[in-house]
Structure 1
Amino acid sequence: MIDLDTIRAIDIHTHAEEPCGCHGDDGYDHLQSTMAEYFRAPWKHPPTVPETAAHYRAQNIAAVIFPVDAERETGYRRYANEEVAEIAAENADVLIPFASIDPWKGKMGVREARRLMRDFGIKGFKFHPTMQGFYPNDRMAYALYEAIEAEGGIALFHTGQTGVGSGMPGGNGMRLKYSNPMYMDDVAVDFPDLRIILAHPSFPWQEEALAVAQHKPNVYIDLSGWSPKYFPEILVRYCNSILKKKVLFGSDWPMIAPERWLNDFEGIDIKDAVRPDILKQNAARLLGLQ
């Protein structure tokens, strides 16, 4: 179990990168190396989940970890949700398991979601509309959201531009339009008991994300994917004021290391009284750890 009294932060946004517990296939190496260059990541090969656990343990940080299932749209094999959950259970002092199910899998995905939450202790699900090729308010995904809501799970959605495919021909087929956070307003209305996290500063739709999070009680924002020194001024202002209980530390590991993010966070104008909430307490409450 995670000891909230001893860890210094909870990273709400980390990735399990190796599909099927083995080496990547079908162009995945090229995608990963291009992303690593985009983020200036320091590694040559993505870390495994046990390596991630060791890194976070050394940093005294807990982490939500998940794969991304985008098999239909990308052709890349997914990392089995069960395997991620099992490794997370072996490292329960630092890892909190989320899963990912491509919403295009329909009823099969709904059954899997229920099983993962009931049998594997999955706390939430990661969606990446740009990689998965769907609008978040598409009714075809609603049965999956309903299952997650019914089991008390969390839905974390990528929003804004993505480093995935950036600089590759045609953006590697990734369409940015799907990740406008305003589509999440419909989801928040239609599933008022579903806890929703809008991932990342949502460039170029930052104000849309802030509006949805301010207006809908069940919507939160994570701060992953960007160094804090590049946060827009309006995001910092909302973090310090009306959204101070609804913003969450996230790194986007392994593209951004948590220690790099935290170091840069020290240099921005966040009130001292607000920092503990952003770094740990807001996530602890959302995840039911306290």
Structure 2
Amino acid sequence: MTTRAFCDCHVNIWSEEHVLPLYAEQLARVRAGEMAPKADADTLYAEMAHVEKAIVFALRYGDSVGIESNDETTAAAVGKYPDKFVGFAYVDPRRADCMDMLVHAIEDLKLKGVKFGPIYNGVALSDPRLVPVYEYLQKHNIPLTMHMGTTFARNAPIDMGRAIHVEPIAQKYKDLVMVMAHMGHPWYEECIVVSRKQPNVYCEVSALSYRPWQYYNILICAQEYRIVDKIFFGTDFPFARVDESVDGLLGINDQLEGTKLPRVSRETMDRILQSDPFAHWWHGDNPLAR
């Protein structure tokens, strides 16, 4: 790979002890024989050689996927590689100490954003337990990245992954920047139209390159709705690697050879690869300058 991306906005981090037996049980249904990939700070740093910056966050998916990491792991990675990593906290609103953990992550650990997976924690975006989270994030200019889309995990209510549920929250909290991961697949049209309508809603293309036909249709739809300027590059590492994600984007039109189907433009590809979340996800306050 020769093309370099500016930022990978979706990088997962955990240590070996954070991977529970449930992970292997869940993955066996869809990718038999695969072991949990490494996602420690050193592994991430080596993988991110072809990006300038990487936004990293832990997962608290213990009872759905079988990975239960923590914000301290994220903060330690940022402390070790501050020129490469920008850390996001994870919120699990089921916990009675959710807000205490969030305040600690932002104000003590100095993490710069938040990740939440409604489908993985079984908590809808409209759940009242998220109200203090939204209010805190909006007040403190903290962006919220959300897993939007389906998952292989059996214990994950699928409707909670639909991008259509983002719109009412975006309308209520107009100064809260919300980022829909994975283009809301397979409901990518919902993701695109919500992002198009709501100025504070963005989206990103992590974990899409290994489904090239779906990925192609997503990008064509984004071009036709003219929202490419709101799409950011990401991998979902370690579930997808940087090189394969870049190559998958740049080679998306290869499958169209011999057809008259519309092409994803090189301008679209370049804008996604060089997209800069730090210029858009914080209101006039670039976390890289702090």
What does 1:2-17 correspond to in 2, within 5 Å?
Answer: 8-17=5-14
**Residues 88, 111 of structure 2: 8 Å contact kept:** yes
Cα shift at 1:115: 2.4
Q: Secondary structure at the match of 1:22?
A: helix
What does 1:267-278 correspond to in 2, within 5 Å?
Answer: 267-268=251-252, 269-278=263-272
Aligned partner of 2:170 in structure 1 is 188
Aligned partner of 2:276 in structure 1 is 282
How many residue pairs get matched? 270
Q: Whole-Å Cα distance in 2 between the matches of residues 175 and 275 of structure 1?
A: 33
Cα shift at 1:239: 4.1
Q: Secondary structure at the match of 1:130?
A: helix
| Identity value in percent | 21
What does 1:140-219 correspond to in 2, within 5 Å?
Answer: 140-163=129-152, 165=153, 171=154, 173-219=155-201
Q: Whole-Å Cα distance in 2 between the matches of residues 256 and 32 of structure 1?
A: 15
How big is the alpha-carbon RMSD for the aligned residues of Structure 1 and Structure 2? 2.7
Identify the match of residue 255 of structure 1 among 234, 239, 243: 239
Aligned partner of 1:83 in structure 2 is 73
Higher mean displacement: 186-195 or 199-208: 199-208
**Residues 192, 218 of structure 1: 8 Å contact kept:** yes
Higher mean displacement: 90-99 or 201-210: 201-210
- C-alpha offsets along residues 186-215 of structure 1, whole Å, 9 cap, x if unaligned? 110111111100111323322111111001
**Residues 7, 51 of structure 2: 8 Å contact kept:** no
Q: Secondary structure at the match of 1:198?
A: strand
Cα shift at 1:44: 5.6
Amino acid at match of 2:22: G
What does 1:117-128 correspond to in 2, within 5 Å?
Answer: 117-128=106-117
State the 4+ residue runs in structure 1 displaced beyond 6 angstroms.
none
Unaligned runs of 5+ in 1: 1-5, 166-170
**TM-score, normalising length: structure 2:** 0.83
Cα shift at 1:223: 0.6
| Alpha-carbon spacing, 1:23–1:194, altered in 2? closer, same or farther (3 Å) | closer
**TM-score, normalising length: structure 1:** 0.83
Aligned partner of 2:119 in structure 1 is 130
Cα shift at 1:259: 0.6
Cα shift at 1:28: 3.1
Unaligned runs of 5+ in 2: 253-262
Q: Whole-Å Cα distance in 1 between the matches of residues 29 and 242 of structure 2?
A: 20
Aligned partner of 1:63 in structure 2 is 54
Aligned partner of 1:105 in structure 2 is 95
Aligned partner of 1:30 in structure 2 is 25
| Alpha-carbon spacing, 1:128–1:62, altered in 2? closer, same or farther (3 Å) | same
